[in-house]
Every structure is written in structure tokens, then in C-alpha cells.
Amino acid sequence: MMSTPVILLKEGTDSSQGVPQLVSNINACQVIAEAVRTTLGPRGMDKLIVDSRGKATISNDGATILKLLDVVHPAAKTLVDIAKSQDAEVGDGTTSVTLLAAEFLKQVKSYIEEGMHPQIIIRAFRTATHLAVKKIKEISVAVKKDDKQEQMGLLERCAATALNSKLIAGQKEFFSKMVVDAVMMLDELLPLKMIGMKKVHGGALEDSQLVAGVAFKKTFSYAGFEMQPKCYQNPKIALLNVELELKAEKDNAEVRVKSVEDYQAIVDAEWSILYDKLEKIYKSGAKEEDLKRTMMACGGSIQTSVGSMTDDVLGECALFEEVQVGGERYNFFKGCPKAKTCTIILRGGAEQFLEETERSLHDAIMIVRRAIKNDSIVAGGGAIEMELSRYLRDYSRSIPGKQQLLIGAYAKALEIIPRQLCDNAGFDATNILNKLRAKHAQGGMWYGVDVNNEDIADNFQACVWEPSVVRINALTAASEAACLILSVDETIKNPRASMDALPAGRGRGRGRPHAH
């Protein structure tokens, strides 16, 4: 007698299990890596992404690209998430982390297909990651904090390495100095929100400037403002959330006047309202208005009316001036007593270019903050990955069993970073990797890809440095993501309400049935 099949899930639900769906998930991750693969390194290309509203974004930042791609595949989303977390945590290395995770999966795909249990692979990966992180901590070079000049030079190099792969790599000396100065102006906690960025169209990139204080677009105008002095020493600042401008009557109402005197009376009435407000502000010794950053920097508190103005709610700064920047007039507050803050004013041509510059500087600022907090660095340009690869390969030969194969696979996967750097620059990757393997085996542990001369070089000497925390974070995040995807053995997709009417076809995450 036939047993009746038990229908547990809604009709149209797509469930796929076992090896085929795992392989399908791994393939999806490869596709994600393909999307950002070519953006890695100083010779990386940029991507132009147009969103649903038609806004074009040109970017080289892995996390930005993946965010804009709007990925729907559930397993591939994991890679997008680790790129975002790397961006939030360290700021740089977002492309590296995506590539590493995808490469880890690619290397073990053959073992999965041969029927090796995913848990064995996961265990091997955890061991390998643990060893790799320990090794990074051993060989990273500590930064001496005593000598301010030396520390500044070192931070500038870290910032320059982060900017190397960006659109503004040509001006990296100029910007890395600006970024380090900006971070150095902050207090011990290095709060990111105290660095403001303003974009002003026009001018050259080199016209960008760093203001030691708060700067923002001139927010209001009034009759006779051209004659007002543009520079005040030690002014008091009122932070007001009220309007000081006259409403133009032509928009709001119709007034019929018969004589000039009547018209003058109306104008006088308008001015008296304004003067009344200004009088109250003036009596409290205040001159200006602005926003939260000014409040944090200059002290005082934001008032919503002018009735309760007293001395204690006012802020102050050493110098206020109004300056022409491009086509805009800007207010600068310098020498703010309360909080240490600064504003970077970016200049440049196209909107997209300015936005990409802002993203690049954000990465560099994050890197400098990390380098100050965690004072150890490693050499970039694929050097640290090659060294870890060599170390893990040697270690794998000393252990028996399946672990040997898997840790070897992990070691091979690490080589994706130098390999991709070569590919993006148009070099012969196999040739350069062979040279690197030989050099690392002889003990040249800081040797990496030299993009400028199509060769290998000691990247520590060449000042291609990055904080070791960037690499540690990238490795652990990539390994976690790979383990997470490997540990999924069934994907069940519920049908959407609107799709009920559609015939239940093969869903997206469905693995192909295995032909035995």
C-alpha cells in the first residue's frame, strides 16, 4: 500500500537541500566577488552604478558598490554584510574581505562535491584563522608613540596606503597629510562625527582645505550685510532656531497702498519686528546662529526663541570670519574652546567625483583612527597574505588527516590578494607569485607586489603600511562568513503573496538534482 505524501509547506515553497544547494550558494558568492574583484589595489578600476532613480555613483569602495547592487540571493547577502561590517569597523579593506570569503569557498568547493562533511571544513578554517591572527600579532611592528613627528609620518603613510587605490591617488600626499591633521585635532576618543565634510563645486582638488573649527555655508542674509565686518575676534555666538529673515510679502499677502508714506510704514513695521528680535539677541551679547556641531565645539545651547537669552546659553570662539569658497560664502568658526573639531572643505568638478573623494577620505580617516588606537602595523600590497600563506602551508605539512588538505586550501586562498593585485595591474600573476613564494620561503617576510615596477619589493621599506587590525578583522570576518555559508544545509524560500498565482517553477536557490 502506498503511503500518502505529507504536505508540510505551502504550495510553491522552494526548498533545496544537501550538496547541490551548498554548491549553488558557493557559486552565488563567486558572482558577488566577481563584481568587486577588479576594484582591488592601486591599479583597480572603478564601477559606475546607476540606481533605480537614475542617480549615478562612481566608486572604488567595495562596501559602497555592494550596497548599491541590491543583492537578493540570501547566501550572497552574507558577503555584502561582512563588507559593510568591515567598513563600519575599520573603514578600509572591504574589497579584500569579500574576495577572501569567496576564495575560501572556492577552494573547498571540490571537497564539498566529493562529499566531505562541511563541519570538518569549518573546524579546519577556525584553526587556520586562529593561527593566522596569532601570526599577524607576532610579526606586526609596533609604533612608537613618544615621538610626535615620527608618529605623524607613520600615520600619513597608513593614510596614503588607504588612498592608493582610490580615485584621488594622484593627490595622496596632499590628502593623507590633511586627514592626519584632521584626526589629530580631535580629542582622545576620536569621535568621527566631529570631522565635518563640505563639498563645494568648482576649483581643483588641491584647493580643498582643512578648517580648524566649524565651517558651514552662510545661512542667512539681511539688508546691508555687505557692509558688515567679515571678521570678529572672540565673538559670542547665539545658537538660535528662529528665523531672522523677513518674509517677502509678495508671496504671502497683498497690500494696497495709496502713498509712499503708507508703504514706508509697512517696511518700517517689518524692520521693527526684525530689530526687536535682533535687539534681544544683541543685548545678550550674541551675534550669530548655527547648528549642533557649533554647539558642541563652541559651548552654549540651542535656543528656540530670543526671549530667554542669557550669558550662560551663549557659545564663544577665538575667531569668526566669512570667506568666499568657490561660488559660496562660508562662515568659519576657529579656535573653539569646548570640543576639538575640524571641517574639511572639498573642491572639485563633478558631483560624483566629490562624493567619491568624500568616501575615500572617510576610509583614510577611519584607518588613521584605527592606527592611533591600535598601534601596530603590517606591510600591505599582498605581503602579509603571502607570509600567512607560507606559514599555514608549512604548518599544514606537520599535521595528519583531512585538516592537512583544508589548511593547505586556506593557505592557497590567501594568495588571491596578491594575485588580484597583479591581475588588476595587467601583470603576469603566476610569475610574480612564484617569485613571492620563493622570497618568503627564504625569509623575506615583508615582500609583496610592487605595482609600479611590475616586480616584487619589500613593501615595509616602500612604506606600504596598514594597521594590523585591518587584516585581522578582514581574515576573521571572511572566515566567519565562509563558515556560515558552509554550515547551511537547506534553503527554504517561502513564496511571496503576489507570486501565488504564478506556476510553482524552479526557484532561485534551487540546486540542480544530482545525477547519480
Strands, DSSP E only, in 244-318?
302-303, 315-316
Phi-psi region of 57 (alpha: psi -120 to 50; beta: other; left: phi over 0): beta
**How far, in Å, are 56, 57, 65, 423 from residue 51 at the CA level?**
7, 8, 11, 28
Reduced DSSP (H G I as helix, E B as strand, rest coil) percent helix, strand, coil of the chain, to 5: 50, 15, 35
SS3 category, 323: strand
What pLDDT, on the 0 to 100 scale, is given for residue 149? Answer: 82
What are the structural domain ranges in the chain?
A: 14-142+379-493, 148-212+340-374, 216-334
Span 40-77, pLDDT tens digits: 988 888 999 998 898 899 888 888 999 898 888 888 88
The H or E element containing residue 377 is strand 376-379
- Which ranges constitute the DSSP H helices of 374-452? 383-396, 402-414, 416-425, 429-441
Name the amino acid, one letter, at 110: S
SS3 category, 82: helix
Distance separating alpha carbons of residues 163 and 415, to the nearest angstrom: 22
What pLDDT, on the 0 to 100 scale, is given for residue 2? Answer: 60
Q: List the grid coordinates of 90.
A: 575599520
- Cβ 178 vs Cβ 358: under 8 Å: no
**How far, in Å, are 101, 110, 113, 473, 506 from residue 513 at the CA level?**
26, 17, 13, 38, 11
Span 294-329, pLDDT tens digits: 767 776 666 666 666 677 677 777 888 888 887 788
- Give helix 383-396 / helix 118-139 axis angle, nearest 10°: 120
Span 492-513, pLDDT tens digits: 878 775 544 444 444 454 455 5
Distance separating alpha carbons of residues 218 and 202, to the nearest angstrom: 18
Give CA 353 to chain center in angstroms. Answer: 16
CATH code that applies to domain 14-142+379-493: 1.10.560.10
Q: In 10 A of CB 301, how many CB atoms?
A: 10
Distance separating alpha carbons of residues 93 and 136, to the nearest angstrom: 16
What pLDDT, on the 0 to 100 scale, is given for residue 290? Answer: 44
Residue ranges of the chain whose pLDDT lies below 70: 1-3, 5, 7, 219-228, 239-255, 277-293, 295, 299-309, 312, 338-339, 497-516
**Cell 607613520 sits at which residue?**
154
What pLDDT, on the 0 to 100 scale, is given for residue 128? Answer: 95
Distance separating alpha carbons of residues 446 and 162, to the nearest angstrom: 18
**How far, in Å, are 19, 24, 66, 379, 431 from residue 428 at the CA level?**
35, 31, 28, 22, 6
Distance separating alpha carbons of residues 122 and 118, to the nearest angstrom: 6
Q: List the grid coordinates of 414.
A: 590567501
Q: Which of 61, 290, 375, 450 is catalytic?
A: 61
Q: Which of 39, 57, 78, 94 is catalytic?
A: 94
What pLDDT, on the 0 to 100 scale, is given for residue 99? Answer: 94
**Residue 13 designated active-site:** no
Strands 56-59 and 47-50: antiparallel
Residues recorded for the chain: 516
**Residue 46 designated active-site:** no
SS3 category, 343: strand
Long-range contacts of 479-482 (CB under 8 A, 24+ apart): 479/100, 479/101, 479/104, 479/125, 479/126, 479/128, 479/129, 480/82, 481/78, 481/79, 481/81, 481/82, 481/101, 482/101, 482/104, 482/105, 482/108, 482/125
Distance separating alpha carbons of residues 333 and 218, to the nearest angstrom: 12
Among candidates 19, 18, 15, 34, which has minimal Cα distance to 109? 19
Residues 6+ apart with CB under 8 A from 161: 367, 380, 463, 464, 465, 466
Distance separating alpha carbons of residues 96 and 466, to the nearest angstrom: 13
Average pLDDT, rounded, for the chain:
82
Q: Which of 39, 78, 95, 161 is catalytic?
A: 95
Q: Which of 363, 375, 450, 491 is catalytic?
A: 363
Q: List the grid coordinates of 336.
A: 573653539
Tell me which of 3.60.70.12, 3.40.50.150, 3.40.1190.20, 3.50.7.10 is the CATH number of domain 216-334: 3.50.7.10
Phi-psi region of 363 (alpha: psi -120 to 50; beta: other; left: phi over 0): alpha
What pLDDT, on the 0 to 100 scale, is given for residue 289? Answer: 39
Name residue 420's beta-bridge partners: none
What pLDDT, on the 0 to 100 scale, is given for residue 223? Answer: 57
Q: List the grid coordinates of 507.
A: 526557484
Tell the CATH topology of 148-212+340-374: GROEL; domain 2 (3.30.260)
